[in-house]
Amino acid sequence: MIYSVATDRMLKHLCVLAEKIRISFFSVRIFPSVRYIKIILYVGTLCFPVTPVKPSPPVSDELNNTPRPGLSKKAKFWIGLSLAVCIPLIIGVLLWLAYLALFPNNPRLVVNSIRLAGNSGYWSPADPDERQARMDRILSILRVRPGETPMFSGRKEYDLAAMAAKLRSEIPELERADIRRVLPDQLIFELHERIPVANLGANFYIDDSATVLDKSSYYDVSGSLPALSCKPSAVRASHEADPFKRGEILNDSSIRTVLDFLRLTRLEFTDVHPKLVYISQDFIQCDLFYRNDPGAFTILIPLRVREEQLRDDIFGRLLPKLESSVRNHEEERSLDLRFKDRIIAKKRG
């Protein structure tokens, strides 16, 4: 008989197993003899042939040391770089699409309500009709349409800082404009007006920053302010003779001297009440009253004086002279303070 390698191995193991079983049962013939087992297994191999197992050839040391094929270092570098760039880019695009879906393109986040904070001043009046008129003007400047303008938009003109800057440029009488959102649909405007300190001609005021303000953007306070009279060419750095313009800033040093003088009379020397200030080419002339005295004084001061010099020198000499003139009923009410350490007093012409 010809057996395959697998069959021969199986026969050997079964014969050994059969002999052990026969011995363990005291030579009682429970199983058939080994010859019968071999015949049965042979018939089985004829019915169910088994493919012989060929032993694999021995592997040489050179094959064991041969590196397995894989990605090169350059390929790994470019793959890693691509992932490092693409993954954040994809995340950024997804976040931007989510932002567009949640905010600018959200139909529920549109401006439906406008409110002015405060209830005083020209731009935040207490009267409902005037208040509505101010809001309509603000909306027309900013081109905000209730029910249509989104609360959040990528357009620059709807950025809160840009809107506030546009308000200040269109309305120079506003010193500051604060705008804030209140979700879901409200914009709140808090407007801070510039405070006029003097009349500048018939149509304008001027404030402490030397900004020319339009009188039509204020309630009429002309009677409570001193009048500043001057030629435009005398208080402009460029010496242009054109009329004053709304929002213009006068940076001339003589204007700064006048504004410092008026501020000192409001805050520190409150017994001095200026009524008319005139700026000429050579000096500053101011008509004023002292305390409750009905008689007016005319004083002359230099064109360019710093605030410290005004406080220490000009007012240091002026106040004692005003006090003595009122107390002694002196007739010399024209006081020239252009010369250091002395006052030239004479009658008003």
- Domain locations in the chain as residue ranges: 5-55, 113-193, 196-346
Maximum pairwise Cα distance, the chain: 162
pLDDT digits (tens, 9 = 90+) for 318-341: 999 999 999 998 888 999 999 888
- CATH number corresponding to 113-193: 3.10.20.310
The pLDDT assigned to 124 comes to: 87
pLDDT higher than threshold 90 for residue 39: no
The pLDDT assigned to 237 comes to: 64
Both tokens of 50, joined, read 């088994």
- What is the Cα–Cα distance from 133 to 333, expressed in whole angstroms? 49
The pLDDT assigned to 104 comes to: 59
- Segment 134-146 mean pLDDT: 87
- What is the Cα–Cα distance from 300 to 39, expressed in whole angstroms? 145
Task: Give the long-range contacts of residues 136-141, CB within 8 A, separation 24 or more.
Answer: 138/114, 138/167, 138/189, 139/114, 141/166, 141/167, 141/170, 141/171
The pLDDT assigned to 61 comes to: 52
- CATH number corresponding to 196-346: 3.40.50
The pLDDT assigned to 80 comes to: 84
Q: Which DSSP symbol is given to 222?
A: G
The pLDDT assigned to 142 comes to: 87
CB 219 within 8 A of CB 213: no
Look at the chain and count its residues: 349
pLDDT digits (tens, 9 = 90+) for 66-103: 555 667 888 878 888 888 888 999 998 888 877 666 66
336 vs 35 pLDDT, higher one: 336
Task: Give the long-range contacts of residues 163-166, CB within 8 A, separation 24 or more.
Answer: 166/141, 166/142
The pLDDT assigned to 232 comes to: 79
pLDDT higher than threshold 50 for residue 29: no
324 vs 231 pLDDT, higher one: 324
Q: Kindly report the average pLDDT of the chain as a whole number.
A: 80
Calculate the CA dihedral of residues 307, 313, 319, 324 and round it to 10 degrees: -170
CB 247 within 8 A of CB 267: no
pLDDT higher than threshold 80 for residue 57: no
- Segment 197-205 mean pLDDT: 92
- The strand ranges marked E within the chain are 113-116, 174-182, 186-193, 196-200, 204-207, 212-214, 227-229, 272-279, 284-290, 296-301, 334-336, 344-346
22 vs 320 pLDDT, higher one: 320
- What is the Cα–Cα distance from 199 to 212, expressed in whole angstroms? 10
- What is the Cα–Cα distance from 254 to 235, expressed in whole angstroms? 7
The pLDDT assigned to 323 comes to: 92
The pLDDT assigned to 2 comes to: 45
pLDDT higher than threshold 60 for residue 44: no
CB 197 within 8 A of CB 267: no
For residue 287, what are the β-bridge partners? 276, 298
